Structure 1
Amino acid sequence: MGVFKVAAVQMRSGESPERNAADMEILVREAAAKGATYVQTPEMTGAMVREKQTRDALFVSEDRDVIVKAARRLAAELGIFLHIGSTAIRRPDGKVANRALVFSPKGEILAIYDKIHMFDVDLDHGESWRESDGYEPGSQAVIAEIDGVKFGMAICYDLRFPQLFRAESLAGAQVLTVPAAFTRQTGEAHWHVLLRARAIENGAFVIAAAQGGLHEDGRETYGHSLIVDPWGRILAQADHDQPGVIVAEIDPAQSALARGKIPNLKNSREFTLVKASEKAERVEP
């Protein structure tokens, strides 16, 4: 695959999956109209809901999910690869996964990824989150192949675990995806630098569609969706937290060129970690 156009859709999802699906459709159609053949939506496209009882009533199985149904239809109608950054899916065992899905231009599911790292943190000013209370973490890293280009999949908090992106890059990923719902507090501090770092250290493009603004459930997300090239240069960005679309052209060959200039993936070596205090004492001859 040669040069192609990608888009990141920035949203402000509320508590109604049906309303969010309608908002998503408008933005995905806008992205396709701008020539994007790969379109990514943010984490929790389907619903941003903090209250457990509301979540339990809203979240359903994949075959009943309105976002999944809308994505199938849109991908097929528009002839695009549509990456739902994530939506909450109730698994057969009754547990809920924070799940990303990639749809082909035929409306078929090409790849599924369940978020591995749960956002269990205590921030400043009393802001506290326990994602593991509501979601079951995944255990498998996933690469989606789209017209010969390998896309490594991740979701939001995964961004802080470079080993995931390194493993995907060593397996050939040329594009790394990080759909997210970063809090405003953490986004202002770390969003740009972490995304650019993942691109630079892996010689890969990074596409990160974000949630932005004040949501119905009271949380506030950072927005500022980004598309970064393998040299760490920002190709497109939303400099705000409003819903919208950003678009950029991607040339997969640029990943190989960056890795040729800085071959850190190839030069990586295995090593052991030894504490100085535990080293054997030197024996004089």
Structure 2
Amino acid sequence: MARVALAQLEPGPDLDANLAEVARLARKAADQGASWILLPEYATFLHGSRTEMRHAAERAESVLDAIRALAARHSIWVLLGSMVVPNGDKMSNRSLLLDSNGDIAASYDKLHMFDVELAGGRRILESSAYAPGNEAVVVATPFGKVGLSICYDLRFPGLYRRLAQAGAEVIVVPSAFATATGPAHWRPLLTARAIENTAFVLAPATCGSSPGGRSTHGRTLALDPWGNAMGELETEPSALLFVDLDLGLVEEVRRQIPSLRADRAFNVREISPSSQTTKAPPMSSSSEVPMPDVAEQAPALRSHYLDVPQMPWQPTQFDGIEMKMLYSDKVTGMSTILFKMAPGAVVPLHEHTAIEQTYVLEGQLVDAEGSAGPGEFVWRPGGNIHVAHAPEGAVFLSVFMKPNRFAAGTKFFTE
């Protein structure tokens, strides 16, 4: 059982005064037995002026030093919900998790930019001043595996699904949620993320009126994996919400409702009145949808080419088995691996936690259910348990949706 404190703040125009208030709350949290304090988005400075935010970004190093010092002083973990840091001609909205020594355990740059047009024609274009991040983050802590997110990310459930399927038991959502949307959307969205992903959701928030016309919703909230509220603040500034995390509850709820293991890949078939009576035009017709210019494609969306024959074989934890890692995603657990097994080599008893697909290139791969030779393919569903042999040696390509679980506790090839 871990005691944590969620802070609710109303950042003012004085960054140093804001830091002093954060320090006061951290001391109070530690004095009352919390081993982790979670601060909201823009915890140390929030202003409606981009110029003022840029000035705050230029002090990012000193802000981080101050937060690291208070973490070490009170031997308490700190989630710095976010602070602004320079990023070329823009800024990044960065969340930092510090351990009780003040060392950085993880950092995360907000993925989704708040580009909206609210009632009354008010437009907010966050992407004009901020650069989005490009990766999700799950980090192991004494409080379980923690998935990081920030505010507007909350509207993108796919992010939270990937965090949970990567092992996140606690998901943090530090926020400066707009008052225009907060009353209708804040609590329902947080509750949905907790229920969908059977995880604790901890959402420290800013509140009240910050300079430059920034008004935020407040109502810091903590939810358990069943979606029940563990505690909630209203709109009071400089307040702490204390909750106790029992990770056994995550395990119990996921045992009862194993939805994280039940996702299925599927296609979407679109049907329109015209498609029911008219054949689709050939790709060479004038109605062909123009493709984007490949040269304009973002780096993260480009193809990745590997010269596999030139890649060296890497040893594995098992005698006589080598591999070439062609693809690995630490967040989802998906991987594609080329294996080479020496004659007589054995992959010991293991369970496939999701579908595994194997195409044999050379030799023979054998288990108690059958064998596959050159040019043959075998797939196994999640839950399949077996031992694999290569009596005469084998080379084969395997695609894993998630890491296998070995009976002896041996780690998977990507771990």
State the one-letter code of the partner of 2:56.
Answer: L
Query: How far apart, in 1, do the equivalents of 2:27 and 2:276 lie?
Result: 62
Distance 2:253 2:101 in 1: 33
Normalized per residue, the structure richer in helix is: 1
CA contact (8 A) 1:60 1:89 kept: yes
Q: 1:25-36 to 2 correspondence within 5 Å?
A: 25-36=23-34
Match of residue 41 from structure 1: 39
In 1, distance between residues paired with 2:258 and 2:211? Answer: 46
Quick one: which of 69, 73, 80 aligns to 1:77? 73
Helix, strand or coil: the match of 2:180?
A: helix
Aligned position for 1:157? 152
Q: Distance in 1 between matches of 2:96 and 2:121?
A: 33
Q: Which has the higher strand share?
A: 2
Bigger relative contact order, structure 1 or 2, given CA contacts below 8 A and separation 6+? 1
Is the Cα contact below 8 Å between 2:54 and 2:86 reproduced in 1? no
* TM-score, length of structure 1 as denominator length: 0.92
Distance 1:84 1:166 in 2: 23
Does the Cα contact within 8 Å between 2:9 and 2:239 map onto a contact in 1?
yes
Question: Residues 94-117 of structure 1: CA distance to partner in whole angstroms, max 9, x if unpaired?
Answer: 531100001111110000000000
Match of 2:62? Answer: 65
Paired with 1:223 and 1:148, the residues of 2 have a C-alpha distance of 24
Residue 16 of structure 1 is matched in structure 2 by 14
Mark the runs of 5 or more structure 2 residues left unpaired by the alignment: 279-415
Contact between 1:14 and 1:217, CA under 8 Å: does it hold in 2? no
Distance (Å, rounded) in 2 between the aligned partners of 1:280 and 1:8:
58
Identity in percent: 37
Question: Given the superposition, is the C-alpha separation of residues 251 and 276 from structure 1 closer, same or farther in structure 2, using an over 3 Å criterion?
Answer: same
Measured in 1, the distance between the counterparts of 2:105 and 2:30 equals 19
For 1:69, the aligned partner's letter is: D
- More divergent stretch after superposition (98-107 vs 254-263): 254-263
Which residue matches 2:386?
A: none
Is 2:251 the counterpart of 1:264? no
SS of residue paired to 1:47: coil
Matches of 1:52 and 1:148, distance apart in 2: 36
The ranges of structure 1 where at least 4 consecutive aligned residues each deviate by more than 3 angstroms after the TM superposition are 277-281
Structure 1 CA distance for aligned equivalents of residues 191 and 124 of structure 2: 25
1:42, 1:180 within 8 Å by CA — same for their partners in 2? yes
Instruction: State the aligned residue count.
Output: 276
3-state SS of paired residue (1:184): coil
Q: Which amino acid is the alignment partner of residue 105 of structure 1? A: S
**Greater gyration radius:** 2
Give the residue type in structure 1 aligned to 2:238. P
Paired AA for residue 62 in structure 2:
D
Task: Say whether the 8 Å CA contact 1:95–1:135 is kept in structure 2.
Answer: yes
Give the root-mean-square deviation of aligned CA atoms: 1.7
TM-score under structure 2 length normalisation: 0.64
Q: Does 1:108 align with 2:132?
A: no
> How far does the alpha carbon of each residue in 1:108-155 deviate from its partner, in whole angstroms, 9 at most, with x for none?
000000000001111113432111111111011001211271000000
The secondary structure found in structure 2 opposite 1:14 is coil
